[in-house]
Amino acid sequence: MDALILARMQFAANITFHILFPTISIGLAWLLLFFRWRWLTVRRASAAAAQGWLDAYRFWTKVFALTFALGVVSGITMSFQFGTNWPGFMERVGDIAGPLLGYEVLTAFFLEAGFLGVMLFGHGKVSEKVHLMSTFLVAFGTTLSAFWILALNSWMQTPAGHEIVDGKFRVQDWAAVIFNPSFPYRFSHVLLASALTCAFLLVGVSAWQVLRKAAQRSAPGVMRVGLTLAALLIPVQIFVGDLHGLNTLHHQPAKVAAMEGVWNTGRGVPLLLFAVPDADRRMNHFEIKVPKLASLILTHELDGEIKGLNTFANAHPPPLPLFFAFRVMVGIGMLMLATSWIGWWLLRRARWQPAHLPRRVLWLFAAMTFSGWVATVAGWYVTEIGRQPFIVHGLVRTADVVSKVPSAMIGFTLALYLLLYLALIVAYLGVLKYMAEKPEEVLQVEAVEQAVTPPGAITAPVVQGATA
């Protein structure tokens, strides 16, 4: 295989592995802040309710710490791979990408890393207020990090605010670079994706705990939070996703044509529910279509014109992966809508006691635990593969900036990374399952450690949580 494909595969493998973890940690940080705040507000009124929120906070903090660590290590790998895989990228667009990445490190990375220690281990060493503030700063840092990285990513999709002098990009207007045409849509879409991923993670893990009769104090409350969040946000996400799609149609019509498998420009284009796009013969096999629907959705007119891939000669992305990735994302979105609305209604009817839900509903929730991951990765493939063959849409080709490292070397390290990532995903899921099923055991271990720790070193709430 040639170096370009290998370099792309390696970067894709790393970014796919990486995005799983920030997608959870961005949303989960805010949810932890919510759990902590709920505990603080109800602890005088009801000891039992407070205990549930404290259990939830402590359990999900462990999940957060694990997730965050995986995000950090894969993020460090990425900071190296920008240079090792795409050395020409920085030489051409360094004036734009450099400051955006630099600001991410300076404002966001240090903030979240600096206060993470206090958030995870500082309870009892700092006041409740400072601890809550540290949790807030970690949550804020993760979101700020998403802001900078998506500003750069969106600029690569819809470049603006620059001029090109002797092949190098110079900034003319920073506001136009950061708030480029696709940024507001992409940023909202990704943050909502993070919130939904967390919502279904909460619902799924709580359902698993109810099925296994674990974490009985916290699981009902956590499931209610997750389902409510999902039911509220999924319609917003579908609406924002539609706006994002229209924005893409305007700025990157080739991407939309590939997503919809439209080979030739036409009016009254049908929506393909299924097809197998064939890049060699430039046609689709096995089409199942709804007449005129694609034109209606994309142009809001039955006979609206949609540009086909024929308009873009050889400068368009491969339709096969886009066509399927897009349908996976939308399909999961629909499944999320149905699950969260029906689930919320059923849980309400069960007086918010998940133990009273039919077991098949709990199994459905458990099966949806990582639905957010699948939808996020599929959506990410749509937007990133959809940018090809360019690295900066319409302006810089990916092939022109690729590394000159021998392909055998790239292949070897790719295999190394793949092996490592696969092992780590398996370990992550295994540990998550173990912690979900045995949260009491983990608390018990802490109670034993408690006994051997010098007095005064640890806070009262831990003891309370372990022995109550």
Selected binder of another protein within 34, 37, 75, 228 (CB under 8 A): 75
Selected binder of another protein within 77, 290, 325, 385 (CB under 8 A): 77
Joined together, the tokens standing for residue 175 give 């506001």
Residue 27: closest CA among 141, 220, 195, 156: 195
For residue 165, the tally of other CB atoms under 10 A from its CB is 9
Query: Does position 118 bind another protein by CB under 8 A?
Result: yes
Tell the smallest beta-carbon distance from residue 73 to another protein (Å). 4
Judged by beta carbon, residue 1 or residue 106, the one nearer another protein is 106
Q: How far apart are CA 63 and CA 458, in angstroms?
A: 21
Query: Does position 454 bind another protein by CB under 8 A?
Result: yes
For another protein, the binding residues in 140-169 under the rule CB under 8 A are 168
Query: Does position 457 bind another protein by CB under 8 A?
Result: yes
Q: Which stretch binds another protein (CB under 8 A): 1-9, 268-276, 341-349, 454-462?
A: 454-462
For another protein, the binding residues in 233-272 under the rule CB under 8 A are none
Query: Does position 429 bind another protein by CB under 8 A?
Result: no
Query: Does position 403 bind another protein by CB under 8 A?
Result: yes
For residue 301, the tally of other CB atoms under 10 A from its CB is 12
What is the DSSP code (8-state) at residue 107? I
Describe the crossing of helices 183-211 and 3-42 by its angle, rounded to 10 degrees.
60
Q: Which amino acid is at 327?
A: R
Query: Does position 324 bind another protein by CB under 8 A?
Result: no
Query: Does position 13 bind another protein by CB under 8 A?
Result: no
Query: Does position 426 bind another protein by CB under 8 A?
Result: no
Q: How far apart are CA 63 and CA 435, in angstroms?
A: 9
- Residue 138 CA, distance from chain mean position: 17
C-beta of residue 229 within 8 angstroms of C-beta of residue 194: no
- Residue 455 CA, distance from chain mean position: 42
Query: Does position 69 bind another protein by CB under 8 A?
Result: yes
Selected binder of another protein within 1, 46, 47, 114 (CB under 8 A): 114
The mark string for 166-185 relative to another protein (x by CB under 8 A, - otherwise) is: --x-xx--x-----------
Query: Does position 22 bind another protein by CB under 8 A?
Result: no
Query: Does position 367 bind another protein by CB under 8 A?
Result: no
Query: Does position 123 bind another protein by CB under 8 A?
Result: yes
Tell the smallest beta-carbon distance from residue 413 to another protein (Å). 4
Q: Which stretch binds another protein (CB under 8 A): 122-130, 149-157, 202-210, 303-311?
A: 122-130
What sections of 368-459 are H helices per DSSP?
371-385, 398-401, 407-437, 439-452
The residues, any chain, with a CB within 8 Å of residue 142's CB and separated by 6 or more, are 22, 25, 26, 29, 108, 112
Tell the smallest beta-carbon distance from residue 48 to another protein (Å). 19
Tell the smallest beta-carbon distance from residue 81 to another protein (Å). 9
Tell the smallest beta-carbon distance from residue 180 to another protein (Å). 16
Selected binder of another protein within 41, 46, 47, 110 (CB under 8 A): 110
Query: Does position 424 bind another protein by CB under 8 A?
Result: yes
Query: Does position 53 bind another protein by CB under 8 A?
Result: no
Long-range Cβ contacts of 75-83 (<8 Å, 24+ apart): 75/18, 75/22, 77/14, 77/18, 77/417, 78/14, 78/15, 78/18, 81/10, 81/11, 81/14
The string of DSSP letters for 6-65 reads HHHHHHHHHHHHHHHHHHHHHHHHHHHHHHHHHHHHHTTT-HHHHHHHHHHHHHHHHHHH
Query: Does position 122 bind another protein by CB under 8 A?
Result: yes
Judged by beta carbon, residue 56 or residue 227, the one nearer another protein is 56
Query: Does position 461 bind another protein by CB under 8 A?
Result: yes
Judged by beta carbon, residue 303 or residue 441, the one nearer another protein is 441
Query: Does position 79 bind another protein by CB under 8 A?
Result: yes
Judged by beta carbon, residue 278 or residue 437, the one nearer another protein is 437
Describe the crossing of helices 128-157 and 87-103 by its angle, rounded to 10 degrees.
150
Q: What are phi and psi of 306, to 5 degrees?
A: -120, 130
Q: Which stretch binds another protein (CB under 8 A): 204-212, 228-236, 361-369, 453-461?
A: 453-461
Q: How far apart are CA 46 and CA 305, in angstroms?
A: 61
Selected binder of another protein within 9, 73, 246, 328 (CB under 8 A): 73
For residue 184, the tally of other CB atoms under 10 A from its CB is 16
The residues, any chain, with a CB within 8 Å of residue 80's CB and separated by 6 or more, are none
